[in-house]
Amino acid sequence: MTHPPLSRIPLPPPFDAPLLVTGGTGTFGHALVRVALERDLFPRLLVFSRDEYKQAMMAETFGHDPRLRFYLGDVRDLSALRLAFRAAHYVIHAAALKQVDRSARDFPQFVQTNVVGTMNVVHACHDAGVRKCVVLSTDKACEATTPYGATKAVAEWLAVTGSTYGPCRFAAVRYGNVIGSRGSVLEVWRKQVEAHGEVRLTDPNMTRFWMTPEDAVALALYALANSRGGEVFVPKDPPHSSIRDLARSAFPRAPHRIVGKRAYEKKHEVLVSPEELDRARDVGPCVVLVPPPAFVHWDPPPFGADAPPLNAPLRSGGAAQQ
């Protein structure tokens, strides 16, 4: 069966072994499972998450497809990960706490899930004989200014260095806001309109990167297929806009009220910083940050190491410009 292109990033050929996704009942997990089942990308899909009700609803959504299996557990629990990972050859680590405001109030909990949980994933992958693991990151990990961003920056470095400690090869993908994801600004604004009849903007000139769940899935699968260990995959020229323009597009009839920028918020987000340019390579469908040479102790060399360099940082205030 022929399918239309999912994204500007090409999907890889079908994989020969099962895939497990942590945090798999979320927005990314639903999109991944839908794409993988429709295109028969894996012989089996394993969803690892904490909520049995969400798992039951997800199984119903996908018609109890026999290729889909669920594991109940928390990434904070290394023993649960080890048991589940025995059935997988590939892992995408999507489980995370993501609410920026909550990260300031509940920072220890964010550390336990986003940092310790990722470290547990690294250990479990090596212990269970997983071939490859891709860790989902965020633009807020680049030049992090929030507690949430700081935890994801550490998680990203655990992916960059994870291949050092055993046979599994790790990589990360770093991208911006996913449209329609749980807790996204669009969901927040919708609730504001329903409750107050207005959209509340912190700074109307603030800019952010945007992508669809399908774009995020395509990037993660591209990384899974091509990574050799230690790379960070970043979308090239992703859509970006001001908060004002996004609000006008999504809620054209709702009035806007400016409430002021939070102290920790950036005016513009960054996907590739100036300091990372010496490691940034343009591989065509996306940008790859190759790991620092001192961190690479395996063969073959990182994917994209011989590709042309990226010429300028990627900022939401003007992608690929100084």
Q: Residue 112: which residues within 8 A CB-CB, separation 6 or more?
A: 76
Total domain count, the chain: 1
Q: What is the DSSP string of 143-177?
A: T--SHHHHHHHHHHHHHHHHGGGSS-EEEEEEE-E
Q: What are the tens digits of pLDDT across the range 245-266?
A: 988 988 999 999 998 888 788 9
Which domain CATH number covers 57? 3.40.50.720
For 282, other C-beta atoms within 10 Å of its C-beta total 16
Give me the amino acid identity at 311.
Answer: N
Residue 7's pLDDT is what? Answer: 67
Is 281 within the bounds of a domain?
A: yes
For 225, other C-beta atoms within 10 Å of its C-beta total 17
Q: Percentage of residues in the chain with pLDDT exceeding 70? A: 96
Is 322 within the bounds of a domain?
A: no
Is 24 within the bounds of a domain?
A: yes
Q: H or E element: which one contains 242?
A: strand 240-242
Residue 318's pLDDT is what? Answer: 55
Residue 5's pLDDT is what? Answer: 55
Is 243 within the bounds of a domain?
A: no
Residue 320's pLDDT is what? Answer: 46
pTM of the model: 0.94
Is 99 within the bounds of a domain?
A: yes
Is 40 within the bounds of a domain?
A: yes
Q: Residue 290: which residues within 8 A CB-CB, separation 6 or more?
A: 230, 231, 279, 281, 302, 303, 304, 305
Is 170 within the bounds of a domain?
A: yes
SS3 content of the chain, % helix, strand, coil (to 5): 40, 20, 40
Residue 264's pLDDT is what? Answer: 83
Is 320 within the bounds of a domain?
A: no
User: Whole domain around residue 78: which residue ranges?
Assistant: 19-178+212-238+270-315
Residue ranges of the chain with pLDDT lower than 50? Answer: 1-2, 319-322
- d(Cα 266, Cα 285) in Å, to the nearest integer? 27
Please give the positions annotated as active site: 140
